[in-house]
Amino acid sequence: MSEPSIQLEKIDNYRWRIPKSYKPGMRVPGLIYANEKLLESIYKDKALEQVANVAFLPGIVNNSLAMPDIHWGYGFPIGGVAATDIDEGGVVSPGGVGFDINCGVRLLKTNLELDDIKDRLEDLIYRLFSDVPAGVGSKGDIRVGAKEEKEILIKGARWAVEKGFGTEEDLECTEENGEIPGADPQAVSERAFERGKAQSGTLGSGNHFLEVQLIDQLYDRQACDTLGLNLGQVMVMIHSGSRGFGYQICEDYARKMVESLAKYKINVPDRQLACAPVNSSEAKAYLGAMRCAANYAWANRQCLMHLTRQAFEKVFGSSWQKLGMFLIYDVAHNIAKIETHRVNGQDKKLCVHRKGATRAFGPGHPDIPERYRKIGQPVIIPGDMGRNSYLLVGTEKAMQETFGSTCHGAGRLKSRTAALKAINSDMLLKELRSKGIIVKASGRNTLAEEAPMAYKDVNDVVDVVANAGIGKRVCRMRPLGVVKG
Q: Which residues are catalytic?
A: 408
Residue 338 corresponds to which amino acid? I
For residue 193, the 8-state DSSP code is H
CB 64, CB 93: distance < 8 Å: no
3-state helix, strand, coil in the chain (%, to 5): 40, 25, 35
Query: Rounded distance, CA 111 to CA 90, Å?
Result: 47
Query: Rounded distance, CA 110 to CA 327, Å?
Result: 9
Contacts 24+ apart (CB under 8 A), 339-342: 339/83, 339/403, 339/404, 341/83, 341/399, 341/403, 341/404, 342/399, 342/400
Beta strand pairing call for 30-33 and 64-71: parallel
Query: Rounded distance, CA 403 to CA 110, Å?
Result: 32
| Angle, CA 136 vertex, CA 130 and CA 142 arms, to 5° | 55
| Angle, CA 259 vertex, CA 255 and CA 260 arms, to 5° | 110
For residue 68, the 8-state DSSP code is E
- Count CA atoms within 13 Å of residue 382 on its CB side: 33
Burial of 348 (0-12, 13-18, 19+ CB in 10 A): middle
In degrees and rounded to multiples of 5, residue 197 shows phi and psi of -70, -25
Answer left, alpha or beta for residue 354, where phi above 0 means left and psi between -120 and 50 means alpha. beta
310-333 CB burial, b ≥16 within 10 A, e <16: bbbbebbeeebeebebbbbbbbbb
- Count CA atoms within 13 Å of residue 20 on its CB side: 11
